[in-house]
Amino acid sequence: ARPARAAAAAAALLLAGAGGAAAVCDVCQVQYNHKDASTAEPALANTPCAHFAANSCCTAETAIAASSKGGAELYGAEYSWDRCGALSPECERYFVAEACWYECAVEAGKYRRHSECAASDGGNGNSWEIYQAPMSGAYCDAFYEACKADFFCSKTGSGSFFDATLEECSTLTGENGVLSNCKTFEDIYGSGQALCNSLFDESFVYVPETNLSNPEHNASDAFVWDFPTGEPNPNHLVLGNVSLDPSCNDTTHDAWVEFDLMAVAQCSNATAGNKSALP
């Protein structure tokens, strides 16, 4: 889960490509601070989300805000990832990578939680929540190893990013002034599997290298949050059997989401599935 903001920034469709042709694009099925359609975003080259520049659902402004000040600039100080003090650079890299993937990756739309894109539809819909996106177990294990000696705050012990606010983490107790609800990642999670399965509630699910319960689906067919800039996005090559969710039209979002699905009509190569969803 990810708390909804009171407002979302609307971004103009950026058409970029050789000879002025319409860029590669699809509907951005997740809507939070996202663009309406994914297109090339050259300005991402100077941000931590540079690896998504070729085809992105985020603007450079969103990328910079999502990846700075512990995420506080975009998501609010109460849910910054440095509530227990600064994370090591090795650990913080993964939080930045998750923020970039959530805001910028087209593939995130394959795992939008709700088919209804507004709370007004049955009272529980939204267009911003991700549900059980498969994560490479090797990547999760590396995330855990990078962070296990760092401190994080969990009020209930669930390990959820959202179960304790900055204020609830701020009571100094114990030896050396350790924050009362702050423990090491090793104490809270104990493994990469627990970290990926718990940190962002039910947003992600750990997929092992050897998946005994489903041998056809192992870590080679699961997402990673980042990859070397300039190299092809490996997430395009996995989970090919999973289609993007049906698009919400521009009348079914919550009022704070500024969305114009017609933007994707300007893309010459939008998929048939996406174009069929145009209002």
* pLDDT one-digit tens code per residue, 59-97: 999 999 888 888 888 777 777 898 888 999 999 999 999
> In this predicted structure, what is the pLDDT of residue 129?
82
**Residue 13 clears pLDDT 60, i.e. is over it:** no
Confidence band of 11 (pLDDT split at 50, 70, 90): very low
> In this predicted structure, what is the pLDDT of residue 94?
96
Q: Is 129 helix (H, G, I), strand (E, B) or coil?
A: coil
A 10 A CB-CB count for 65 gives 21
Residue 85 CA: distances (Å) to CA of 115, 178, 182:
38, 10, 9
> In this predicted structure, what is the pLDDT of residue 69?
84
The rounded distance, in Å, linking the Cα atoms of 91 and 258 is 34
DSSP state for residue 196 in the 8-state scheme: H
Q: What is the mean pLDDT of residues 126-152?
A: 91
pTM of the model: 0.79
The rounded distance, in Å, linking the Cα atoms of 58 and 48 is 12
**Residue 168 clears pLDDT 90, i.e. is over it:** no
> In this predicted structure, what is the pLDDT of residue 200?
92
The rounded distance, in Å, linking the Cα atoms of 59 and 44 is 7
Of 79-83, 150-154, 155-159, the one with minimum mean pLDDT is 155-159
Q: How many residues make up the chain in this entry?
A: 279
> In this predicted structure, what is the pLDDT of residue 191?
97
